[in-house]
Each structure stands twice: as C-alpha cells, then as structure tokens.
Amino acid sequence: MGKVMQRRNIAIPGRATTVAVLQLPETWTVRGARMFLFELETCIVTDRPLLVVDCSKAGRLDGPATYLLLQCLEAAMKRNGDVRLAGVSRKGRATLESEGVSRLFRIFDSNAEAIKSFQQGAFHATTGEAPCDDVCFEPMLEKAEASGA
C-alpha cells in the first residue's frame, strides 16, 4: 500500500519547503488505491506541494497505476505544486510512453535525484512555476515543420 516514506526539508531559492516521498503500491487493490489516495491527501495540504512518487516497488504501471499517478499530478497542480517519479523500471517507462503520460512527469532513477531536481532551478525563484522543458515544445515544433511554418 502507498505510504509516505519520508518528508525532506529543502531550500528552494526564495522559500523553504518540504518534499514528500510517497511509495506507489506493489500490487493493486481497491483498498490499496484508497490508502494511497489518503496518503496523497496528507502530502498535498500545503501551498505548492512537492511530491516524489517512488515507483521502484510497483509491479506494473498499468491503467490503475497510471490513473493514480495522474490523480497525484492533478491534486498537486491544483495547489501549484509538482510531482516527480522515481525508480520507474524500463518496462514502466515504456508503458507510460505508450499511454502518452511520460511527457507529463519528470522521471528520475532514484528518490534522491528527484528530490534534488526540485532544488536545481526546477521552480522559478519568484513565481514558483516550473519552467517548460524542450520536450513541451517538441509536438508543436513537429506540427509546425510538417505544415511548412
């Protein structure tokens, strides 16, 4: 079942905050999903919540897992926060890519890398907004090139 593994205080230019690391369940049950969502709610009660979802023990990142990840992202974004994924297997990454979800998350090999990414200019110092990576513009550039613009 999902559980808050750790909360780590970090300094981001212009503010101090906490990053919560939440473990994605190994197996999927209705009860496990409810527990995960309950833990999620305890993590995002702050303004601009920062959350790392540890996927290292998740068996499969199939439909239910993807749905929970999207719920995490939606809940965090409603509060101007962000979610990073850590420990996603190759098969899990391929699943997220095939479902078109991988571009919505920054994915890291470890929790430590994901946590550190919040400190490394991941948020604009004054607005708290995440900058858009080049990946955000790739689909638009491909369409523009295809149309001859």
Query: pLDDT for 75-93, tens place per residue?
Result: 999 999 999 999 999 999 9
> 148 vs 114, which has greater pLDDT?
114
Q: By C-alpha distance, which of 110, 64, 65, 68 is closest to 85?
A: 110
What is the number of alpha carbons within 13 Å of residue 139 lying toward its C-beta?
Answer: 3
Which of the following CATH numbers is that of domain 3-147: 3.30.750.24, 3.10.50.30, 3.40.50.300, 3.30.420.40?
3.30.750.24
For position 6, what pLDDT does the model report? 56
pLDDT in tens, 129-138: 444 443 333 4
Check if the beta carbon of residue 105 is closer than 8 Å to that of residue 85.
yes
Structure tokens at 67: 């749905």
pLDDT in tens, 31-43: 888 888 888 888 8
What is the rounded distance in angstroms from the CA atom of residue 82 to the CA atom of residue 100? 18
Mean per-residue pLDDT, 113-121: 83
- In the sheet with 106-108, reading across from the earlier edge strand, the strands are 3-12, 15-23, 50-54, 82-86, 106-108
Tell whether the model's pLDDT for residue 122 goes beyond 80.
Answer: no
Residue where the block lists tokens 């999902």: 2
Is the pTM here over 0.75, yes or no? Answer: no
Contacts for 6-11: CB closer than 8 Å, 24+ residues apart: 6/111, 8/115, 10/50, 10/115, 10/118, 10/119, 11/119
Beta strands in 13-133 (DSSP E): 15-23, 50-54, 82-86, 106-108
Tell whether the model's pLDDT for residue 57 goes beyond 90.
Answer: no
For position 91, what pLDDT does the model report? 92
For position 1, what pLDDT does the model report? 45
Tell whether the model's pLDDT for residue 16 goes beyond 80.
Answer: no
For position 47, what pLDDT does the model report? 85
Q: C-alpha distances in angstroms, 40 versus 52, 63, 135?
A: 11, 18, 27
For residue 148, give the DSSP letter: T
Tell whether the model's pLDDT for residue 107 goes beyond 80.
Answer: yes
